[in-house]
Amino acid sequence: MPDVKKIEPGLSIVKHFQVELTSTARHLGSGGVDVLATPELVRMMEETALMAVAPLLPEGSTTVGVRVDITHLAPTPVGFGVDVEAKLVEVKGRQLIFDIVAMDDTEEIGRAKHDRAIIDVERFLARIDAKRQTK
């Protein structure tokens, strides 16, 4: 397991996003209106959590998402900004557990519990190559 002593609960980051037509439910096929799509909100949340710990990971390591439990609370129109805050609340070995809150220009639009796993990239890619060989 990679040495992750610097990654501790309490770590947090806020990342800003802009809602574009390409991030809408209509564009992504998850709904029929031009508002922020839930799959795009999930992507924003995962990206923010990744960015929170990426600078602290040992060389050759990264994190992958393994669980997202999201509540999408309110619609956000095209042109609005979205601020996503990811707070690391627990570290269990190589598992990182985040609480995430998303706010648009006027209100809270989403909350999530998100788990990420720290992986060794080389071992992960070898596993994928081995899986390809079974097909």
Active site residues: 38, 46, 72
Structure-block tokens of residue 7: 């990654």
How far apart, in Å, are the Cα atoms of 101 and each of 42, 49, 53?
A: 11, 11, 17
Q: How many CB atoms lie within 10 A of CB 99?
A: 16
Contacts of 120 (CB under 8 A, 6+ apart): 2, 60, 61
By CB atoms closer than 10 A (0-12, 13-18, 19+), residue 124 is middle
What is the token pair recorded at 49?
Answer: 């959590």
Q: Give the dihedral of Cα atoms 64, 112, 82, 13; nearest 10 deg.
A: -60
